[in-house]
Each structure stands twice: as structure tokens, then as C-alpha cells.
Structure 1
Amino acid sequence: MTHPFAIAVAPNGARRTKADHPRLPMSPAEIARDASEALEAGAAMIHLHVRDAGGMHTLDIDLYREAMKAVRDAVGDDLVIQITTEAVGRYVPSQQIAVIDALQPESVSIALREILPDGGEERDVAALFERMEAAGILHQLIVYDATELKRLDALAARGIVPDAPLAVLAVLGRYSEQGATDAEFDAFRDAGLSRHQWMLCAFGPREAHFMQRAAHSGGHARVGFENNLWLPDGAVASSNAAIVSATATAALSSQRELATAEELRRLWRRPPPAGAA
């Protein structure tokens, strides 16, 4: 396993607030602070959510621009800045697509089941991916169970999404009390996740365990307060950077170097290396 191991920090997410952790970043300045700290701890990417004046998740274009500028001013090009299009029951595919078109971000994460629900408009999604490919936007598709990998294959075969390898984020566990399980990881592995340039996120206090499995299996990690508040020893993490640092430590036994942002940009669409599990 010679390719580097990339850590993305997801510092806030769409649902948690300072009531969950007093250091959860909400404002652009706080997000930029956590970006700088996470970079120092070993992160190559930040997965960015923004909040409105009431602290609610939003896809507001102006608020995104403000937060993106704050992060870029803080870290330059040393982190990939990825925006989310998460719907949280408030947004529909046309609104998610409009945000991508307006912002032209360096990177964007898109949940497959949100952007193309059953009965959704495939032509709009195909056109979006054509535009993102032409613009060089680093798109990452989120899948919540192994069966969605088969759906990705079918969509790629029909030209709705680009052919593999895609950048894919596999999600273990849920926002409810269901923590990540080894059975979920194994199902993704058995369904051929290694065909893709994949990252893993895992809800709950076993996050570092799953990131170690990802490191040994050829994948990458997305960690932080969006999905988990705890360190491997069960203590509440003092910051997002502490979780990034714990992830880097957990990955040491894989003998993979930590990826820089520039290395992650180059890796994003390369086929996985031979022997990736």
C-alpha cells in the first residue's frame, strides 16, 4: 500500500450545535480556526457546512462564499475545500444543483439518493456531471449502503454519472443512535468499494477503529464532530484537530504516509492501486 492516506475533517455537519460540543464551529471565523488546526494535525481536506443566523444548516450561496473565503484566507491551498449539498429535508435536487452551478467549488459532496431519488430526473443529473467534469470540480458521491454501489454501476453504464473510478464516500452508521458496525464495512468491501477512490465516515465512538480499517484497505478517512465527538479512549475530544490527530495515529500501522491536499487532488480520479482490498 504505497499511495498516501488522506484525512478529511468534517467539523460541524448539519445537525449538531454548541449544545453538543462547545467548540463545534458555527461561524466562518470558527470554521477557519478549525481548518487551520486540522491542517496542522494532518488533514488534507475540509468538508464544509454553513449555518444561518439561527444556527440551522443552509445552502445559502452568500454564506458559503463567506465561509469558503475565511477558510482559504486561513489555509491557502493547503486544504481541499469541499462544500456539501446535504438536503436535511429542506432542499430538492434542483436547489442542490443550483448551488453547485453558482459556487463552482473546488469540491462538492453529493448524496446519490438525494440528487437522484427514485423517479428523479436523470437528464438533469447527467448534465450536472458533464458540467462538473468540464469545470474540473472534484465531486464525491455519498453512498449509505452497499446496494447503492450497484446503482452507481448501472448509472455509469448508461452515462448518467462518469465511469469508475469515482470518488465515493461510504457512510457507516446514521445520525440516529446507530453507530458504525463492522458488518457495514464488510458489506461495502464485498460489494467492490475498492473499485473507487473511496473515503469512509463512521458515526460514533468507534470512528478511529474504522479509519484504521480504511487505511489498511486502501481507502481514506473523513472524521470530525459531524459524525463523532469521542477519542479512541472514550474521552470527549477537545477539538476537531484532536480527532484528526487520533486518526493519523490509528493509521500508522498501515505504513501509509499522510496525504497533502495536492496529493489528494492528484489521487481523486486515479484508479485504485493494484492490491487494494
Structure 2
Amino acid sequence: MTHRPFIMVAPNGARRGKADHPALPLTTTEIVETARACKAAGADGLHLHVRDEAGAHSLDAGRYRETLDELARVVPGLRLQITTEAVGIYDVAQQLDCLEQVRPGWASIAVRETARDMELAPSVYAACAEMGCEVQHILYDTEDIATLKRWQAEGIVRPGQDSVLFVLGRYAVGQTSDPAELDPFLTDLPDAPSWMLCAFGPQEHACLAAAAKRGGNLRVGFENSLVAADGQPHPDNAASVAALCDLLERSTS
């Protein structure tokens, strides 16, 4: 493997809490400390979710700005991406409002969520283009790829907004993703100039190592998997990042 993948840690996501893993970071302080440890372990970037006072998923612009500022101060050099994930709470207008208020340098946007409001979909991508925000399209299956291709052809997605994240698996009891599940994505989108993979379940690292061998970048962390291949929980996000880096290094030796 000659490709050195970009490694982004997704340390918490929108759905999990302390009951799922005591080291899952929820507060700004916890997220920043996790980011520091993950950068030291080999992470190049961080996929950021913020939570409200009750620990629930939030797209609050103030919380985002506060956490982004603190991350930039403590872990300079770590690339920061915010999520616009709806999680059944937010509509497209609220997602767009979050983007316009935060004005992030990088954001993930789920194609299927944006498709809920086709009147606003063009505005989402136009706003990102205007503010210079890099877009990473979240793609859950080949139907999402077909939608993205159509939007690109129609000009809804702007030129240069071509980075994608392929998602293997879902939140489900007993979910185990398999590296072979990457094949349909690459078959339908073989020329993606920048693609990343995340995978749910105990085969997370195996899926990511397979993606690295095929030229992909990687997203790892407690948003997608709390456990190693043997089913044992990782001590924390940094331990998962370190284990992935070790696996990648061994696969090249």
C-alpha cells in the first residue's frame, strides 16, 4: 500500500452516550481532550458532533463555534469537519441555517437528507460554495450515488463539490460490515477524486484497511464502532486510532 490515507476520527456521533461507552466524549472539554489524544495517535482530522446540555444531538451554531475555536486553539493542524446530520430532528432549512451561521471550512452533508427538500437543496450547495466550505457527500448506498450524479449534471451540486463518504452498515444490533460491501460503491462511482470510508461493527478496521489499499481515506471512531475485531471495547477513541494505524503499518510491511 503506497497510499497514505487521511485518517479522520468521528469520536461521538449523534446517537450514543455514556451508557454505551464511558469514554465517549460529549462536552466541549471532553471532545477537545479526545481530539488531542487522537491527533497524537495518528488522526489527521476530526468529524465534529456537538451536544446540548442534556447530551442530545445539536446543530446549535453557538456550540459549534465555541467547540471549533477551542479545537483550533488546542489541536492546531487537525482538520475540522462539522456534521449537518438531521437525526430525525432537523429539517433542511435548519441544516442550511446551521451552515450559514457557523460558516465552517468543511461539512458533511447527507444526500438523502438534503433530498427531503428539493426547493432548498440548491441553496445548501450554493451556500457552501459561497463561503468556501468543502462538502463531503454522505452516501449510504448506490441510490444515493445516482442522486448525487443527477444533481451534479443538473448543477445543483457545484463544480469541485465532489468529495464523498461511503458508509458501510448502520446502527443495528449485531451489525457487522464487510470489506466486500465497498465494491458496489466503487463500481458506481469509480472516478471519485476524493473518497472516504466508514464502517459499523467489529470489522471496522478491516474494512478501513481494505479501503486504504484501494486508495481511499478513512473515518474511524466511536460514532461507528466501539469495539475491536474480537468484540472487546476499545478503551477510548485514541486507542482505536492507534490500533488502526498499527494495522495499516503492518499491512505495508
Query: Letter of the aligned partner of 2:115 in structure 1?
Result: L
Query: Letter of the aligned partner of 1:230 in structure 2?
Result: V
Moved more, 244-253 or 223-232: 244-253
Q: Pick one of 119, 132, 136 that aligns with 1:140.
A: 136
Which residues of structure 2 form unaligned runs of 5+?
none
Moved more, 181-190 or 12-21: 181-190
The residue number in structure 1 matching 2:97 is: 98
Q: Are the equivalent residues in 1 in contact too, given 2:9–2:219 (CA < 8 A)?
A: yes
Q: Pick one of 134, 148, 155 that aligns with 1:152.
A: 148
Are positions 1:161 and 2:157 aligned together? yes
Structure 2 CA distance, aligned partners of 1:146 and 1:196?
17
Query: Letter of the aligned partner of 2:168 in structure 1?
Result: L
The residue number in structure 1 matching 2:121 is: 125
- Residue 59 of structure 1 deviates from its aligned partner by 0.7
What's the TM-score, normalizing by structure 1?
A: 0.85
What's the TM-score, normalizing by structure 2?
A: 0.93
What are the Cα deviations for residues 15-39 of structure 1, in whole angstroms up to 9, with x where unaligned?
A: 1101111110010000000000110
Moved more, 131-140 or 78-87: 131-140
Question: Which secondary structure state, in structure 2, belongs to the residue aligned with residue 212 of structure 1?
Answer: helix
The residue number in structure 1 matching 2:108 is: 109
- Please give the residue correspondences for 1:9-48 in structure 2 after superposition, counting only pairs within 5 Å: 9-48=9-48
Structure 1 CA distance, aligned partners of 2:45 and 2:29?
17
Are positions 1:49 and 2:76 aligned together? no
Identity of aligned residues (%): 43
Which residues of structure 1 form unaligned runs of 5+?
257-277
Q: CA RMSD in A?
A: 1.8
Moved more, 184-193 or 26-35: 184-193
Are positions 1:190 and 2:187 aligned together? yes
- Residue 250 of structure 1 deviates from its aligned partner by 2.2
The residue number in structure 2 matching 1:217 is: 214
How has the CA–CA distance of structure 1 residues 240 and 193 changed in structure 2, closer, same or farther, with 3 Å as cutoff? farther
Question: Which secondary structure state, in structure 2, belongs to the residue aligned with residue 175 of structure 1?
Answer: coil
Structure 2 CA distance, aligned partners of 1:42 and 1:68?
20
How has the CA–CA distance of structure 1 residues 179 and 134 changed in structure 2, closer, same or farther, with 3 Å as cutoff? same
Structure 1 CA distance, aligned partners of 2:134 and 2:167?
19
Query: Letter of the aligned partner of 2:126 in structure 1?
Result: E
The residue number in structure 2 matching 1:65 is: 65
Structure 1 CA distance, aligned partners of 2:90 and 2:109?
12
Q: Are the equivalent residues in 1 in contact too, given 2:197–2:217 (CA < 8 A)?
A: yes
- Residue 128 of structure 1 deviates from its aligned partner by 2.7
- Residue 126 of structure 1 deviates from its aligned partner by 2.0
How has the CA–CA distance of structure 1 residues 137 and 245 changed in structure 2, closer, same or farther, with 3 Å as cutoff? same
How has the CA–CA distance of structure 1 residues 224 and 175 changed in structure 2, closer, same or farther, with 3 Å as cutoff? same
How has the CA–CA distance of structure 1 residues 165 and 63 changed in structure 2, closer, same or farther, with 3 Å as cutoff? closer
Are positions 1:171 and 2:170 aligned together? no
Query: How many residues of Structure 1 are paired with residues of Structure 2 in the alignment?
Result: 252
Q: Are the equivalent residues in 2 in contact too, given 1:157–1:163 (CA < 8 A)?
A: no
